[in-house]
Amino acid sequence: MRLLPTVCVLSLLSAYTVGTVRYADVWTSELSLWMHAVDLAPLKPRPHLQLALALMEAHRFSEAQIVLDDTAAILGTNQRIPAWDRTEAEQAVLQHRVLLSRLAGTGPRLGP
């Protein structure tokens, strides 16, 4: 009877160890984290917006543009998004587009 608690604890620790090893690659970078989040929640705008920012940080501007276009399409077709969340996400898409245009060198320049 004393063996059963030990076996249970070891099984639980083994399960956590396997889970940690499997998810270690997901946490290697912000980019891999948000790519994974988009895979898990493809119809939610927030992971897409964060992925676009991570792509911009990696100077992958064309991919960031594609993700922003996909996010706008999700907002246009997914009616299950609450109104407050839709409004915030639409504003974030616009802000991200401005940021992207400035980072990519296609937006307006401030100063000389």
For 81-100, the pLDDT digits (tens) are 999 999 999 999 999 999 99
Q: Given this model, what pLDDT does residue 4 score?
A: 86
Specify the number of domains making up the chain: 1
Within a domain: 11: no
For 25-48, the pLDDT digits (tens) are 898 999 999 999 999 999 999 999
- Give CA–CA dist 57/104, Å, rounded: 11
Within a domain: 10: no
Q: Given this model, what pLDDT does residue 12 score?
A: 94
For 24-33, give one letter per residue: b (16+ CB within 10 A) or e: eeeeeeebeb
Within a domain: 87: yes
> Which domain range does residue 82 map to?
25-103
Within a domain: 50: yes
- Give CA–CA dist 64/6, Å, rounded: 49
Q: pTM of the entire structure?
A: 0.81
Within a domain: 12: no
Q: Given this model, what pLDDT does residue 108 score?
A: 61
Any idea what the CATH number is for the domain that residue 50 is in?
1.25.40
